[in-house]
């Protein structure tokens, strides 16, 4: 027999010594249903006295040989598992009497039966024990291959019961469906399946104990409870039973749902369960942040007898002007768990900031701060926040840590400090010291965030990051004054770093600037993570709105940055969610500036892929139109081509009413408006006076999008009154009119269809493509909703496709490669960050990807996720559906963009091609 070191619980037996005893592996006990601590203590004492072993915990262990219960049968995991495994199930007197006897007694007199002592009833517990010990079966479920489909909270319980009975358990469909003999699930999850007969989990108790015993005592309803199955240990009433234990007709597969109810397939039910498991693993891996490893930390031992120093010599040395020596004295006295008075370091900090210190002083000062942090990390009981909040501030102004940090950053940037002037010009040693202090503040914030993540920090008011960047009044917003100031500094520093193009890549000055920008990026990431962590458990919508607001603020600051700065700052944002929102906001701002309307739907993989179409319009179509405009000098007479009712009319734009080429006629009242605010261009469009329209458009400085008092443009008037020739003249003018301008929700296309001018509607669609069909009016109607004829709707769609093809041809040349690179950089960051942050498509286990692809091959994502309650799992299926359709999105990409040699553009296309290869592989394996 093996030896084991066991000890009785101190609270139960009143002694502390360890005893080396012979452990009898034939007597390994678990207890179920006994809650009284005194009774349980007597049992444990008896077990240990005789050399037995006790296994605690709420779950069943297969090493168990004896289960102690007070009543039988029980709606208990331990009871059912012990019965299925053929174990001894005895009452407490077996241990107590054996302890009095001094040796283990025979178990039979103490064995509990499924029907107690009622004559004429079958003994299920003894029957299974005798079958297992006699070698007839290995367990009550021998030969079963079970696909278990229950709630994640119940899965381990029923898996242990089945394993105890020697069943083979699958949590997902096996590769060979023929291996499955039983499908066990909750009653409300009963589904159609071709794998094997589908049973309720009640079938386990019926198989072990018999139908009547289970139904009369209510055990089956208890088994349907979640993990609170610890009500397992409650005693239940028993009834007699005359029938054998074999499966009855009630154990046949349960009837499925009626035709009027939606049929939930086995595959879809399992997919939701497996997707939830995947996201649970992701959340668990992200739950705790690793301890900062920039240096080793000395955690002080509580109640230790460490010699405590008073630091009395430091003030005297400082008063004599020996600052470096004072720091050395302070450093030698530092011990783990001991904080020197902050007043000792404040004069030393003031001496350092004046810029008159020696280089050695700066080095020692930085070393002292790191030693104090190493000896007093924020996650110990004695938090050093008060000390650092006093030391890391300007000794002269004393306005707090953020005021000093802002002054320090601006001093390094060469801009005006915020509190008072500092030495100028700054020495390299002083600049390096400021950089070291900034890096130390960042390290301190990371340690504080780690203490919050692990739950070892104090309350909110005792946390350093909170006191530096928020007050109790603005804590509910991510955009506090200090956080917005940090963002402003980051944008300014990024511009400052990229402004020194003449500096060599590895020049000392450029390295210093890069270090400052990286520190700002990391600091912003720590602050955002801290705020999100504090609010995510209480108010997730507040976190989403806070990130949206800060992302839009950053986008407003970045939209006017030089392109090279934009390509540096967005990928460098440390917080993934903030980087994703900022990139999305900047791209939408660029589209809005160029009159490209994007939907307001939540961010998803489908939405990111849909950005490929506006990418082509931003970088090719717009530039080509501008080029066409520049090729038509305003002083020359060009020929306009109009299409009216199927005929082509060519007329010189500078000749109206027979005017000679050498003289330009200006219509009377060109600059006047009538009582309703209409210009002469409005009135000409209403009357279909195309000659006048052409003459006006040929004049310099004409506002083609002029609005009357109601907001209507000339294009609106032409569409409303059926002036087809005027519509042609307007849309071919450069700059082109705004075709998506809406007044009360009415766009020019809506206006034309509302008035029955389908020929004008077709012209607009042939010119601008299918984007016009996506607009909605104030009643949420698209242009196609205004057309009652199915034939006409198809004709309008065909015109839109013609327009899309024409725009693709116009975009056959990239006019501004730098602008394309910036846009590609935004989409690249958006795509990569979304996949990493949401853990979608790329990182999902391949087996789950394959199952999702099979389901989506037959049904839409909406059908597959019908009835799903987990939004993450629903989004996973929707993103997988978008990934499977990536080829369609790639086909919309302008060919000229594919041929671009920019690094960001090539990487974006590579990511899309890689996604397409993944899609092809999945579809191949689903066949």
**Can you tell me whether residue 642 is helix, strand or coil?**
strand
Confidence of residue 901 (pLDDT cuts 50, 70, 90): confident
Q: State whether the Cα torsion 454-456-460-461 is positive or negative.
A: negative
Q: Are 254 and 187 in contact (CB under 8 A)?
A: yes
Q: Which tokens belong to 490?
A: 């980051």
Torsion, Cα of 154, 156, 160, 166 (10° steps): 100
Q: Which tokens belong to 342?
A: 């902050």
Q: Are 610 and 888 in contact (CB under 8 A)?
A: no
Tell me the per-residue pLDDT of 25-61, one tens digit each, with 9 for 90 and over.
789 999 988 888 788 888 988 998 888 998 888 889 8
pLDDT of 423 strictly over 90: no
Q: What residues have CB less than 8 Å from 656, skipping those under 6 apart?
A: 665, 691, 692, 694, 695
Q: Are 857 and 581 in contact (CB under 8 A)?
A: no
Report pLDDT for 65. Answer: 93
Q: Which residues of 161-194 are buried (b: 16+ CB within 10 A; e: fewer)?
A: bbbbbbbbbbbebeeeeeebbbbbbbeebbbebe
Name the nearest CA neighbour of 801 among 828, 776, 773.
773
Q: What residues have CB less than 8 Å from 456, skipping those under 6 apart?
A: 379, 380
The full DSSP string for 732-780 is: TSSSPP-TT--BTTB-HHHHHHHTT-HHHHHHHHHHH-GGGGG---TTS
Name the nearest CA neighbour of 80 among 159, 161, 150, 160.
161
Q: Which tokens belong to 840?
A: 């979608």
**Can you tell me whether residue 676 is helix, strand or coil?**
coil
Tell me the per-residue pLDDT of 386-413, one tens digit each, with 9 for 90 and over.
888 888 888 777 888 998 899 889 888 8
pLDDT of 259 strictly over 50: no
- Give Cα separations from 533 to 357, 482, 520, 539, 544 (angstroms): 41, 18, 20, 10, 12
Per DSSP, what are the bridge partners of residue 192? 265
Q: Are 29 and 23 in contact (CB under 8 A)?
A: no
Q: Are 77 and 53 in contact (CB under 8 A)?
A: no
Q: Are 224 and 186 in contact (CB under 8 A)?
A: yes
Going by their DSSP bridges, the two strands 53-54 and 639-644 should be labelled as: unpaired
Degrees (nearest 5) of the Cα angle 388, 391, 395? 155
Name the nearest CA neighbour of 714 among 744, 745, 750, 739.
739
Torsion, Cα of 159, 165, 168, 171 (10° steps): -10
Q: Are 524 and 487 in contact (CB under 8 A)?
A: yes
Q: Which tokens belong to 272?
A: 């939701």
The rounded distance, in Å, linking the Cα atoms of 409 and 421 is 13
Q: Are 608 and 827 in contact (CB under 8 A)?
A: yes
Report pLDDT for 525. Answer: 93
- Lowest pLDDT segment from 107-111, 288-292, 414-418, 746-750: 288-292
Confidence of residue 854 (pLDDT cuts 50, 70, 90): confident
Q: From the centroid of its chain, how far is CA 400? A: 34
DSSP 299: P
**Can you tell me whether residue 820 is helix, strand or coil?**
helix
The rounded distance, in Å, linking the Cα atoms of 211 and 250 is 8
14/708: higher pLDDT: 708
pLDDT of 269 strictly over 60: no
Q: Quick one: average pLDDT of 240-263?
A: 35
User: Tokens 């986008």 — which residue?
Assistant: 555
Q: Are 506 and 428 in contact (CB under 8 A)?
A: no
Task: Determine phi and psi for 326, rounding to 5 degrees.
Answer: -65, -40
Per DSSP, what are the bridge partners of residue 642? 649
Name the nearest CA neighbour of 718 among 697, 698, 688.
688
Q: Quick one: average pLDDT of 84-98?
A: 91
The rounded distance, in Å, linking the Cα atoms of 680 and 688 is 12
Q: What residues have CB less than 8 Å from 535, skipping those under 6 apart?
A: 542, 543, 546
Task: Determine phi and psi for 199, rounding to 5 degrees.
Answer: -120, 160
The rounded distance, in Å, linking the Cα atoms of 253 and 196 is 9
pLDDT of 842 strictly over 70: no
**Can you tell me whether residue 338 is helix, strand or coil?**
coil
Going by their DSSP bridges, the two strands 3-6 and 19-22 should be labelled as: antiparallel
Tell me the per-residue pLDDT of 435-455, one tens digit each, with 9 for 90 and over.
999 999 999 898 888 877 766
pLDDT of 298 strictly over 90: no
- Lowest pLDDT segment from 119-123, 206-210, 422-426: 119-123
The rounded distance, in Å, linking the Cα atoms of 445 and 451 is 10
Q: State whether the Cα torsion 706-712-716-720 is positive or negative.
A: negative
Per DSSP, what are the bridge partners of residue 147? 170, 183
**Can you tell me whether residue 503 is helix, strand or coil?**
coil
User: Tokens 């469009």 — which residue?
Assistant: 685
Q: Which sequence spans correspond to the domains of the chain?
A: 3-133, 145-251
Average pLDDT over all residues of the chain: 76
Tell me the per-residue pLDDT of 565-583, one tens digit each, with 9 for 90 and over.
888 899 999 999 999 999 9
Confidence of residue 241 (pLDDT cuts 50, 70, 90): very low
Degrees (nearest 5) of the Cα angle 264, 151, 210? 90
**Can you tell me whether residue 790 is helix, strand or coil?**
helix
CATH code of domain 3-133: 3.40.50.10190
Report pLDDT for 21. Answer: 40
Per DSSP, what are the bridge partners of residue 170? 147
Tell me the per-residue pLDDT of 167-201, one tens digit each, with 9 for 90 and over.
988 887 776 666 788 888 875 444 545 667 888 88
Whether domain 145-251 has CATH 3.60.21: the reply is no
Tell me the per-residue pLDDT of 905-916, one tens digit each, with 9 for 90 and over.
999 999 998 888
Tell me the per-residue pLDDT of 138-165, one tens digit each, with 9 for 90 and over.
999 998 988 888 877 778 888 899 999 9
Q: Are 562 and 818 in contact (CB under 8 A)?
A: no
Name the nearest CA neighbour of 870 among 152, 307, 59, 51.
152
Q: What residues have CB less than 8 Å from 904, skipping those under 6 apart?
A: 567, 821, 822, 824, 825, 828
Q: What's the per-residue H, E or C state across 238-278?
A: CCCCCCCCCCCHHHCCCCCCCCCCCCCEHHHHHHHHHHHHH
Asked, colleague to colleague, whether 3-133 and 145-251 share their fold, the answer is yes
The rounded distance, in Å, linking the Cα atoms of 6 and 45 is 11
Task: Determine phi and psi for 607, rounding to 5 degrees.
Answer: -65, -40
**Can you tell me whether residue 823 is helix, strand or coil?**
helix
Q: Are 594 and 871 in contact (CB under 8 A)?
A: no
Report pLDDT for 381. Answer: 54
Q: Which tokens belong to 728?
A: 């042609």
The rounded distance, in Å, linking the Cα atoms of 128 and 133 is 9
């Amino acid at each position: 027999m093996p030896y084991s070191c066991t000890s009785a619980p101190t609270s139960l037996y009143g002694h502390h010594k360890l005893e080396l005893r012979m452990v009898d592996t034939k007597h390994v006990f678990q207890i179920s249903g006994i809650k009284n601590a005194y009774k349980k203590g007597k049992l444990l004492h008896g077990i240990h006295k005789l050399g037995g072993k006790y296994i605690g915990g709420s779950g069943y262990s297969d090493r168990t040989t004896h289960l102690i219960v007070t009543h039988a049968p029980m709606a208990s995991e331990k009871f059912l598992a012990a019965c299925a495994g053929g174990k001894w199930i005895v009452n407490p007197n077996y241990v107590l009497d054996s302890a009095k006897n001094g040796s283990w007694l025979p178990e039979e007199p103490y064995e509990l039966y499924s029907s107690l002592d009622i004559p004429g009833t079958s003994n299920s517990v003894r029957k299974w024990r005798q079958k297992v010990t006699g070698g007839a079966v290995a367990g009550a479920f021998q030969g079963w291959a079970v696909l278990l489909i229950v709630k994640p909270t119940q899965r381990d319980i029923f898996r242990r019961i089945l394993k105890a009975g020697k069943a083979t358990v699958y949590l997902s469909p096996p590769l060979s469906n023929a291996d499955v003999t039983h499908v066990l699930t909750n009653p409300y999850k009963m589904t159609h399946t071709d794998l094997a007969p589908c049973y309720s989990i009640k079938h386990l108790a019926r198989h072990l104990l018999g139908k009547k015993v289970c139904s009369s005592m209510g055990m089956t309803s208890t088994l349907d409870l979640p993990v609170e199955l610890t009500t397992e240990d409650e005693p239940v009433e028993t009834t007699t039973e005359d029938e054998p234990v074999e499966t009855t007709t009630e154990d046949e597969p349960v009837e499925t749902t009626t035709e009027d109810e939606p049929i939930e397939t086995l595959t879809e039910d399992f997919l939701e369960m497996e997707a939830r498991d995947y996201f649970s693993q992701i959340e668990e891996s992200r739950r705790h942040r690793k301890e900062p490893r920039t240096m080793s930390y000395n955690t002080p031992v509580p109640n230790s007898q460490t010699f405590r120093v008073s630091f009395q010599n430091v003030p005297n040395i400082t008063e004599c002007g020996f600052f470096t020596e004072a720091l050395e004295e302070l450093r030698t006295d530092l011990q783990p768990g001991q904080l020197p008075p902050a007043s000792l370091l404040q004069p030393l900090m003031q001496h350092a900031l004046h810029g008159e210190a020696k280089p050695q002083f700066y080095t020692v000062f930085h070393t002292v701060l790191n030693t104090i942090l190493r000896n007093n990390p924020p996650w110990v009981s004695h938090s050093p926040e008060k000390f650092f909040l006093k030391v890391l501030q300007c000794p002269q102004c004393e306005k707090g840590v953020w005021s000093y940090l802002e002054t320090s950053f601006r001093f390094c940037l060469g801009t005006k400090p915020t509190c008072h002037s500092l030495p100028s010009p700054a020495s390299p040693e002083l600049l390096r010291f400021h950089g070291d202090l900034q890096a130390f503040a960042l390290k301190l914030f990371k340690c504080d965030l780690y203490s919050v993540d692990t739950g070892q920090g104090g309350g909110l008011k005792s946390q350093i990051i909170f006191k530096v960047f928020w007050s109790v009044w603005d804590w509910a917003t991510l955009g506090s004054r200090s956080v917005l100031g940090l963002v402003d500094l980051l944008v300014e520093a990024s511009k400052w770093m990229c402004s020194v193009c003449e500096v060599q890549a590895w020049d000392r000055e450029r390295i210093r600037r890069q270090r400052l920008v990286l520190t700002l990026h990391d600091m912003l990431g720590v602050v955002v993570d801290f705020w999100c962590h504090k609010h995510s458990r209480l108010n997730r919508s507040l976190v989403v709105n806070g990130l949206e607001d800060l992302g839009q603020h950053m986008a407003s600051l970045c939209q006017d940055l030089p392109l090279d700065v934009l390509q540096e700052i967005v990928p460098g944002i440390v917080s993934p969610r903030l980087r994703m929102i900022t990139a999305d906001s900047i791209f939408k701002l660029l589209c809005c500036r160029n009159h490209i309307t994007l939907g307001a739907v939540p961010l998803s993989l489908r939405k990111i892929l849909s950005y490929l179409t506006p990418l082509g319009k931003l970088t090719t179509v717009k530039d080509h139109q501008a080029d066409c405009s520049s090729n038509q000098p305003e002083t020359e007479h060009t020929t306009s081509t109009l299409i009216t009712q199927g005929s082509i009319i060519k007329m010189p734009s500078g000749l109206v009413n027979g005017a000679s080429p050498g003289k330009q006629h200006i219509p009377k009242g060109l600059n006047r408006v009538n009582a309703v605010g209409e210009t002469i261009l409005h009135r000409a469009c209403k009357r279909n006076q195309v000659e006048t329209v052409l003459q006006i458009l040929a004049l310099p400085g004409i506002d083609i999008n002029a609005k009357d008092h109601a907001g209507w443009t000339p294009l609106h008037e032409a569409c409303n009154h059926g002036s087809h020739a005027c519509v042609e003249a307007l849309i071919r003018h450069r700059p082109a009119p705004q075709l998506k301008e809406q007044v009360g929700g009415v766009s020019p296309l809506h206006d034309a269809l509302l008035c029955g001018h389908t020929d004008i509607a077709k012209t607009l669609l042939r010119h601008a493509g299918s984007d016009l069909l996506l607009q909605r009016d104030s009643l949420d109607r698209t242009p196609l909703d205004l057309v009652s004829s199915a034939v006409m709707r198809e004709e309008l769609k065909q015109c839109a496709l013609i327009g899309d093809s024409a725009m693709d041809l116009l975009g056959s040349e990239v006019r501004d490669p730098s602008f394309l690179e910036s846009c590609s950089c935004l989409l690249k960051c958006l795509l990569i960050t979304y996949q990493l942050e949401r853990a979608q498509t790329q990182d999902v286990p391949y087996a789950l990807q394959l199952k999702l692809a099979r389901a989506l091959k037959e049904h839409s994502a909406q059908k597959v996720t019908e009835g799903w309650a987990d939004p993450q799992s629903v989004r996973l299926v929707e993103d997988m559906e978008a990934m499977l359709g990536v080829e369609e999105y790639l086909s919309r990409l302008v060919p000229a963009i594919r041929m671009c040699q920019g690094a960001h553009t090539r990487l974006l296309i590579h990511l899309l091609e890689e996604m397409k290869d993944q899609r092809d592989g999945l579809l191949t394996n689903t066949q």
